Amino acid sequence: MIIDLSLPIDEKAFEVHHVDIERISHKAGIEKFNRVIMAKTLSGKIKYLLGKRILKKEDLPDEEFLSLEIVHSPVHIGTHLDYSFHYGSLSEGRPSKTAEEIPLEWCYSNAVKLNLTHKKNNETITASDLEEQLKKINYSLKPLDIVLFHTGSDKLYGSPKYFLEYPGVDISAIDYLLDRGIKIFGVDTMGIDRPYRFMLKEFLEEKKPLYPAHFYGRKREFIHIERLANLQALPDYGFKIACFPVKIKQTGAAWARVVAFV
Protein backbone atom coordinates (compact mmCIF):
# COMPACT_ATOMS: atom_id res chain seq x y z
CA MET A 1 0.00 0.00 0.00
CA ILE A 2 1.24 3.50 -0.87
CA ILE A 3 0.34 6.34 1.52
CA ASP A 4 0.73 9.95 0.45
CA LEU A 5 2.47 11.96 3.19
CA SER A 6 2.56 15.26 1.28
CA LEU A 7 0.77 18.58 1.49
CA PRO A 8 -0.03 20.46 -1.73
CA ILE A 9 1.11 23.81 -3.05
CA ASP A 10 -2.22 25.59 -2.81
CA GLU A 11 -2.70 29.28 -3.50
CA LYS A 12 -6.02 29.21 -1.60
CA ALA A 13 -4.50 27.98 1.67
CA PHE A 14 -3.33 30.49 4.27
CA GLU A 15 0.40 31.13 3.87
CA VAL A 16 2.83 33.64 5.33
CA HIS A 17 4.61 34.02 1.99
CA HIS A 18 2.77 34.88 -1.20
CA VAL A 19 1.80 31.96 -3.42
CA ASP A 20 0.12 32.31 -6.79
CA ILE A 21 -0.78 29.79 -9.47
CA GLU A 22 -1.63 31.37 -12.80
CA ARG A 23 -4.08 29.01 -14.48
CA ILE A 24 -4.52 29.40 -18.24
CA SER A 25 -7.51 27.45 -19.47
CA HIS A 26 -7.79 25.48 -22.71
CA LYS A 27 -9.78 28.30 -24.29
CA ALA A 28 -7.48 31.05 -23.05
CA GLY A 29 -4.48 29.01 -24.18
CA ILE A 30 -5.24 29.87 -27.80
CA GLU A 31 -4.78 33.58 -27.16
CA LYS A 32 -1.72 32.92 -24.98
CA PHE A 33 -0.12 30.97 -27.82
CA ASN A 34 -0.72 33.77 -30.31
CA ARG A 35 0.58 36.45 -27.96
CA VAL A 36 3.76 34.55 -27.04
CA ILE A 37 4.67 33.33 -30.52
CA MET A 38 3.91 36.56 -32.36
CA ALA A 39 5.72 38.69 -29.76
CA LYS A 40 9.04 37.04 -30.62
CA THR A 41 9.58 39.60 -33.41
CA LEU A 42 8.75 43.29 -33.60
CA SER A 43 6.71 42.87 -36.79
CA GLY A 44 4.83 39.96 -35.22
CA LYS A 45 4.08 42.00 -32.12
CA ILE A 46 2.69 44.84 -34.27
CA LYS A 47 0.55 42.42 -36.29
CA TYR A 48 -0.80 40.90 -33.07
CA LEU A 49 -1.74 44.34 -31.74
CA LEU A 50 -3.50 45.03 -35.04
CA GLY A 51 -5.65 41.93 -34.61
CA LYS A 52 -3.85 39.27 -36.66
CA ARG A 53 -3.74 35.73 -35.21
CA ILE A 54 -1.65 32.69 -36.21
CA LEU A 55 -3.98 30.24 -34.50
CA LYS A 56 -7.77 30.27 -34.39
CA LYS A 57 -10.03 28.12 -32.27
CA GLU A 58 -11.47 26.58 -35.44
CA ASP A 59 -8.01 25.12 -36.18
CA LEU A 60 -8.06 22.93 -33.05
CA PRO A 61 -9.97 19.81 -31.98
CA ASP A 62 -12.83 20.81 -29.66
CA GLU A 63 -11.68 24.42 -30.17
CA GLU A 64 -9.28 23.98 -27.25
CA PHE A 65 -5.51 24.44 -26.91
CA LEU A 66 -3.31 23.05 -24.09
CA SER A 67 -3.81 24.20 -20.51
CA LEU A 68 -0.91 25.85 -18.71
CA GLU A 69 -0.27 26.49 -15.02
CA ILE A 70 2.50 28.81 -13.84
CA VAL A 71 3.45 28.47 -10.18
CA HIS A 72 4.95 31.41 -8.28
CA SER A 73 5.94 29.97 -4.92
CA PRO A 74 8.77 29.83 -2.39
CA VAL A 75 10.46 26.41 -2.21
CA HIS A 76 9.35 26.21 1.43
CA ILE A 77 5.66 25.94 0.54
CA GLY A 78 4.16 22.45 0.38
CA THR A 79 6.04 19.37 1.57
CA HIS A 80 9.75 19.93 1.02
CA LEU A 81 13.27 18.97 2.06
CA ASP A 82 15.62 21.55 3.64
CA TYR A 83 19.35 21.14 3.17
CA SER A 84 22.39 22.91 4.58
CA PHE A 85 22.42 25.94 2.25
CA HIS A 86 19.12 26.99 3.84
CA TYR A 87 20.77 27.03 7.27
CA GLY A 88 23.83 29.09 6.32
CA SER A 89 26.65 29.54 3.81
CA LEU A 90 28.87 27.05 5.68
CA SER A 91 28.10 23.69 7.28
CA GLU A 92 30.73 21.82 9.30
CA GLY A 93 33.27 24.38 8.06
CA ARG A 94 32.61 23.59 4.39
CA PRO A 95 30.49 25.38 1.78
CA SER A 96 26.89 24.39 2.36
CA LYS A 97 25.19 22.06 -0.09
CA THR A 98 22.08 22.96 -2.03
CA ALA A 99 18.98 20.86 -2.47
CA GLU A 100 19.92 19.35 -5.83
CA GLU A 101 23.00 17.88 -4.09
CA ILE A 102 20.95 15.80 -1.64
CA PRO A 103 22.20 12.21 -2.08
CA LEU A 104 19.32 10.26 -3.60
CA GLU A 105 20.36 7.07 -1.82
CA TRP A 106 19.36 8.75 1.45
CA CYS A 107 15.88 9.51 0.11
CA TYR A 108 14.55 5.94 -0.11
CA SER A 109 14.99 4.03 3.10
CA ASN A 110 13.41 2.20 6.01
CA ALA A 111 11.46 4.53 8.26
CA VAL A 112 10.10 4.81 11.76
CA LYS A 113 7.29 7.00 13.12
CA LEU A 114 7.50 8.42 16.63
CA ASN A 115 4.28 9.49 18.35
CA LEU A 116 4.82 12.98 19.75
CA THR A 117 1.21 14.13 19.75
CA HIS A 118 1.44 14.83 23.48
CA LYS A 119 3.90 17.68 22.93
CA LYS A 120 2.30 21.11 23.38
CA ASN A 121 2.66 24.40 21.54
CA ASN A 122 5.94 26.13 22.33
CA GLU A 123 7.45 22.92 23.75
CA THR A 124 10.42 21.26 22.10
CA ILE A 125 10.94 17.63 21.16
CA THR A 126 14.07 16.50 22.99
CA ALA A 127 16.44 13.54 22.84
CA SER A 128 14.66 12.13 25.90
CA ASP A 129 11.34 12.26 24.05
CA LEU A 130 12.82 10.28 21.16
CA GLU A 131 14.40 7.72 23.45
CA GLU A 132 11.15 7.27 25.36
CA GLN A 133 9.10 6.71 22.20
CA LEU A 134 11.64 4.30 20.71
CA LYS A 135 11.49 2.24 23.90
CA LYS A 136 7.67 2.22 23.74
CA ILE A 137 7.69 0.69 20.26
CA ASN A 138 10.76 -1.48 20.98
CA TYR A 139 12.75 -0.15 18.03
CA SER A 140 16.47 0.63 17.69
CA LEU A 141 17.49 3.19 15.09
CA LYS A 142 19.70 2.03 12.24
CA PRO A 143 21.92 4.22 10.06
CA LEU A 144 20.00 5.88 7.18
CA ASP A 145 16.60 5.25 8.78
CA ILE A 146 14.23 8.13 8.01
CA VAL A 147 12.64 9.25 11.28
CA LEU A 148 9.20 10.90 11.25
CA PHE A 149 7.90 13.03 14.12
CA HIS A 150 4.13 12.70 14.40
CA THR A 151 2.59 15.70 16.20
CA GLY A 152 -0.76 15.87 14.39
CA SER A 153 -0.18 19.50 13.42
CA ASP A 154 -0.96 18.84 9.75
CA LYS A 155 -4.68 18.86 10.61
CA LEU A 156 -4.37 22.66 11.00
CA TYR A 157 -3.05 23.14 7.47
CA GLY A 158 -4.81 25.87 5.52
CA SER A 159 -5.50 28.09 8.53
CA PRO A 160 -3.39 30.63 10.48
CA LYS A 161 -3.23 28.14 13.39
CA TYR A 162 -0.92 25.96 11.28
CA PHE A 163 1.77 28.61 11.82
CA LEU A 164 0.98 29.22 15.48
CA GLU A 165 0.32 25.89 17.21
CA TYR A 166 3.00 23.19 17.07
CA PRO A 167 6.08 22.02 18.99
CA GLY A 168 9.63 22.62 17.81
CA VAL A 169 12.67 20.34 17.70
CA ASP A 170 15.41 20.68 20.28
CA ILE A 171 19.07 20.51 19.27
CA SER A 172 19.48 17.50 21.59
CA ALA A 173 17.02 15.56 19.40
CA ILE A 174 18.98 16.43 16.25
CA ASP A 175 22.21 15.27 17.90
CA TYR A 176 20.50 12.07 19.04
CA LEU A 177 19.55 11.23 15.44
CA LEU A 178 22.83 12.25 13.82
CA ASP A 179 24.87 10.28 16.36
CA ARG A 180 22.99 7.16 15.21
CA GLY A 181 23.64 7.65 11.49
CA ILE A 182 20.34 9.30 10.61
CA LYS A 183 20.63 11.59 7.59
CA ILE A 184 17.00 12.66 7.15
CA PHE A 185 14.22 13.27 9.64
CA GLY A 186 10.80 14.75 9.02
CA VAL A 187 8.08 16.68 10.84
CA ASP A 188 4.39 17.20 10.17
CA THR A 189 4.72 20.82 11.33
CA MET A 190 5.48 23.87 9.19
CA GLY A 191 9.02 24.05 10.61
CA ILE A 192 11.47 22.45 13.03
CA ASP A 193 11.80 25.51 15.25
CA ARG A 194 9.04 26.63 17.60
CA PRO A 195 6.41 29.04 16.23
CA TYR A 196 7.81 32.42 15.30
CA ARG A 197 5.62 34.30 17.81
CA PHE A 198 7.36 32.56 20.73
CA MET A 199 10.87 32.89 19.33
CA LEU A 200 10.46 36.56 18.46
CA LYS A 201 9.08 37.45 21.89
CA GLU A 202 11.99 35.72 23.63
CA PHE A 203 14.49 37.32 21.25
CA LEU A 204 13.16 40.82 21.88
CA GLU A 205 12.79 40.41 25.64
CA GLU A 206 15.65 38.07 26.56
CA LYS A 207 17.91 38.02 23.49
CA LYS A 208 17.38 34.27 23.11
CA PRO A 209 18.48 32.97 19.68
CA LEU A 210 16.13 32.81 16.71
CA TYR A 211 15.80 29.54 14.77
CA PRO A 212 18.28 27.50 16.87
CA ALA A 213 17.39 24.17 15.21
CA HIS A 214 17.86 25.57 11.70
CA PHE A 215 21.08 27.36 12.58
CA TYR A 216 22.43 24.14 14.11
CA GLY A 217 22.74 22.91 10.54
CA ARG A 218 25.80 25.14 10.29
CA LYS A 219 27.52 23.06 12.96
CA ARG A 220 26.28 19.61 11.90
CA GLU A 221 25.00 18.73 8.45
CA PHE A 222 21.52 17.26 8.24
CA ILE A 223 18.44 17.19 6.03
CA HIS A 224 14.92 17.52 7.29
CA ILE A 225 11.46 17.27 5.73
CA GLU A 226 8.88 19.88 6.64
CA ARG A 227 5.09 19.86 6.19
CA LEU A 228 4.43 16.15 6.18
CA ALA A 229 0.86 14.89 6.50
CA ASN A 230 -1.16 11.74 7.25
CA LEU A 231 1.42 10.27 9.61
CA GLN A 232 -1.41 8.81 11.68
CA ALA A 233 -2.00 6.34 8.82
CA LEU A 234 1.44 4.76 9.28
CA PRO A 235 2.52 1.89 11.52
CA ASP A 236 5.33 2.61 13.97
CA TYR A 237 7.90 0.95 11.71
CA GLY A 238 8.21 -1.72 9.03
CA PHE A 239 7.67 0.60 6.07
CA LYS A 240 9.80 2.53 3.60
CA ILE A 241 9.80 6.23 2.71
CA ALA A 242 10.57 7.85 -0.64
CA CYS A 243 11.29 11.58 -0.44
CA PHE A 244 13.10 12.49 -3.64
CA PRO A 245 13.53 16.28 -4.02
CA VAL A 246 12.66 18.14 -7.21
CA LYS A 247 15.92 19.10 -8.91
CA ILE A 248 15.91 22.89 -8.60
CA LYS A 249 19.30 24.53 -9.04
CA GLN A 250 21.00 26.30 -6.16
CA THR A 251 18.20 26.37 -3.60
CA GLY A 252 18.24 25.61 0.11
CA ALA A 253 15.08 23.51 -0.18
CA ALA A 254 13.12 21.58 -2.78
CA TRP A 255 9.58 20.28 -3.05
CA ALA A 256 9.07 16.54 -2.71
CA ARG A 257 6.15 14.13 -3.10
CA VAL A 258 6.83 12.10 0.02
CA VAL A 259 5.18 8.68 0.09
CA ALA A 260 5.27 5.65 2.36
CA PHE A 261 5.34 2.06 1.15
CA VAL A 262 3.60 -0.05 3.78
| pLDDT tens readout for residues 17-58 | 999 999 999 999 999 999 999 999 999 999 999 999 999 999
Strand spans (E) along 59-202: 68-72, 80-82, 90-91, 94-95, 108-115, 124-125, 146-150, 168-169, 184-187
Percentage of residues of the chain with pLDDT beyond 70: 100
Range(s) of the chain covered by CATH 3.50.30.50: 2-11+75-261
* Cβ atoms of 253 and 83 closer than 8 Å: yes
Q: Supply the pTM of this predicted model.
A: 0.92
**pLDDT, tens only, 109-149:** 999 999 999 999 889 999 999 999 999 999 999 999 999 99
Instruction: Please check whether the domain covering 2-11+75-261 is classified as CATH 3.40.50.10800.
Output: no
